[in-house]
């Protein structure tokens, strides 16, 4: 007869094997559930995938039960992995935030207007009239924010106020679906729609030609507007700041970034994260991997917007600052004002990647333009130099030292420096910084990463 120690060892071995098999069964059922989420594109908030996985697990448990006659406690153990897997996957199907759109509350320092454009978009508009003691500038200035589909940050609003104090009549609007603007059906979020909205916005202003400052993805919208003669005819001057890719060939290009950013160096942003919630971790993760479409039935557009937080951007925010600023990155926004639409943004970016080259059309542009490129840019430098190469109307390039992608960031004198560069170009005055890079020294510029 085996000794008690041997019996205990055998029991422990059988228990370990049982637990390992149960864990493997749980993992397998969850994997089946996730595979079904992908195959069905999250239809019905994931419920069909959940019911199917539950049915598969239950059927296998019944099959094993019939093969082996066991006492009732052991019979129940066969269903335990099914119950655990069902509970885990059910968390992916249950919303934890409102599924109706929750727009940010009104800002305390500027009125929010809503304009219905001829395109069908209804956008949130912010107007900063000239506020300084100097002369009022005669041409209105329109600001196109980055995103592509997000609220204008408080940091950006402060910069717009600075431009207004310099005499500019500043208008800004949030792209359809972003911030306080109304949502669009997911299929209508395209880069072409964004360009048409810009033209419709200028028409709605009814003030003739305007100057436009486009930042990041807003710079890509502005670049594409310059390639359309009808829309470019509405523009007086264009400032393209840290642009995103302008078309499919540019988006698919490999290349160099600027000098090191704070990504990986800055402390992790504080605050709640939607990616700590199973439902949104799965939805946003699979969308980012391209395994779910932006139109996924797993989460609706409004729910995704409500769930996404500033902390979810993580390293993306840090990458907009120089490495030297890693431990003094300013708070860009308030939790109440922050709003970002991950699905709509992915949809717009996909339409950029799928679009043909606009270089031939851009080559016929006549609207005076200026490029602004950050020293520690997290953008591919080819996205900016591509505009320089193909747009003959780019009159100057200003390489902004000491700043990352978010060039007006409230640190040191960066806001004043950026405002001076923009103002000098819009007033056709001498540039505060050297005209660099030029078309002749782009190759040297791209190789300068020290």
Taken as a whole, the chain contains a residue count of 450
Tens of pLDDT, residue by residue over 156-194, are: 999 999 999 999 999 999 999 999 999 999 999 999 999
User: Which residues, at least 6 apart from 50, have a Cβ–Cβ distance to it below 8 Å?
Assistant: 33, 86, 89, 90, 92, 93
Interval 238-246 mean pLDDT: 97
pLDDT at 411: 95
**What is the SS3 string spanning 241-271?**
ECCCCCCHHHHCCCCCCCCCECCCCCCCCCC
Q: 236 in helix, strand or coil?
A: strand
Confidence check: pLDDT of 240 > 90: yes
pLDDT at 447: 76
Q: What would the DSSP string read from start to end of 96-144?
A: SS-SS--PPPPPSSSPPEEEE-TTS-EEEEEEE---SSSPPPSS-EEEE
pLDDT at 158: 97
Tens of pLDDT, residue by residue over 20-37, are: 656 787 788 889 999 999
Of 172 and 255, which is predicted with more confidence?
A: 172
**What is the chain's mean pLDDT, rounded?**
91
Interval 305-333 mean pLDDT: 93
pLDDT tier at 75 (50, 70, 90 boundaries)?
Answer: low
Q: 368 in helix, strand or coil?
A: coil
Tens of pLDDT, residue by residue over 272-314, are: 999 899 999 999 999 999 999 999 999 999 999 999 999 998 7
Interval 101-127 mean pLDDT: 97
pLDDT at 135: 78
Among 148-157, 215-224, 435-444, the least confident range: 435-444
For the chain, helix, strand, coil in percent to 5 are 45, 10, 40
Tens of pLDDT, residue by residue over 372-392, are: 999 999 899 999 999 999 999
pLDDT at 86: 84
Interval 105-111 mean pLDDT: 96
pLDDT at 15: 46
Confidence check: pLDDT of 62 > 90: no
pLDDT at 92: 94
Closest listed residue to residue 353, CA positions, set 220, 169, 204: 220
User: Taking the mean position of all CA atoms in its chain, how far away is CA 278?
Assistant: 20
Order of all β-strands in the sheet with 141-144 = 113-116, 122-128, 170-173, 141-144, 210-215, 235-241, 369-376, 394-404
pLDDT at 279: 95
pLDDT at 29: 86
For residue 256, what are its two tokens? 């160099």
| Domain locations along the chain | 4-93, 113-268+319-447
113-268+319-447 in CATH: which number?
Answer: 3.40.50.1820
Interval 66-70 mean pLDDT: 61
Interval 106-125 mean pLDDT: 97
Of 285 and 67, which is predicted with more confidence?
A: 285
């Amino acid at each position: 007869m085996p000794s008690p120690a041997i019996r205990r060892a055998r029991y422990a071995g059988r228990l370990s094997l049982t637990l390992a098999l149960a864990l493997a069964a749980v993992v397998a059922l969850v994997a089946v559930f996730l595979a079904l989420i992908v195959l069905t594109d999250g239809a019905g908030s994931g419920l069909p995938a959940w019911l199917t996985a539950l049915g598969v697990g239950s059927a296998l448990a019944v099959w094993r039960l019939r093969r082996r006659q066991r006492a009732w406690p052991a019979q129940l153990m066969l269903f335990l992995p099914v119950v655990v897997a069902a509970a885990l996957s059910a968390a992916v199907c249950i919303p934890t935030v409102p599924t109706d759109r929750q727009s940010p509350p009104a800002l305390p320092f500027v009125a929010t207007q809503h304009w219905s454009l001829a395109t069908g978009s209804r956008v949130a508009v912010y107007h900063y009239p000239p506020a300084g003691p100097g002369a009022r500038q005669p041409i209105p200035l329109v600001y196109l924010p980055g995103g592509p589909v997000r609220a204008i940050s408080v940091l950006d609003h402060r910069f717009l106020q600075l431009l207004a104090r310099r005499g500019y009549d500043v208008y800004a609007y949030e792209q359809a679906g972003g911030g306080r603007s109304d949502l669009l059906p997911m299929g209508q979020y395209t880069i072409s729609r964004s360009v048409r909205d810009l033209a419709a916005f200028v028409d709605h202003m009814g003030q003739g030609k305007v100057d436009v400052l486009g930042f990041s993805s807003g710079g890509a919208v502005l670049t594409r507007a310059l390639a359309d003669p009808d829309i470019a005819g509405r523009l007086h001057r264009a400032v393209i700041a840290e642009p995103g890719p302008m078309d499919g060939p540019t988006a698919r290009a490999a290349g160099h970034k600027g000098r090191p950013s704070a990504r990986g160096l800055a402390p992790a942003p504080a605050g709640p994260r939607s990616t700590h919630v199973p439902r949104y971790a799965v939805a946003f993760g699979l969308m980012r991997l391209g395994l779910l479409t932006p139109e996924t039935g797993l989460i609706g557009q409004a729910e995704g917007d409500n769930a996404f937080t500033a902390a979810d951007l993580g390293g993306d925010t840090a990458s907009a600052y120089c490495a030297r600023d890693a431990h003094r990155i300013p708070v860009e926004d308030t939790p109440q004002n922050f709003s970002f639409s991950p699905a709509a943004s992915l949809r717009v970016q996909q339409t950029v990647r799928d679009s043909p080259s606009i270089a031939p059309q851009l080559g016929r542009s006549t609207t005076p333009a200026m490029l602004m490129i950050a020293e520690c840019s997290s953008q591919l430098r080819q996205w900016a130099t591509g505009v320089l190469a193909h747009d003959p109307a780019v009159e100057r390039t200003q390489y902004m030292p000491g700043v990352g992608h978010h060039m007006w960031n409230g640190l040191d004198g960066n806001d004043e420096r950026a405002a001076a560069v923009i103002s000098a170009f819009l007033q056709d005055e001498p540039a505060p910084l050297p005209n660099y890079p030029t078309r002749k020294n782009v190759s040297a510029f791209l190789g300068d990463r020290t």
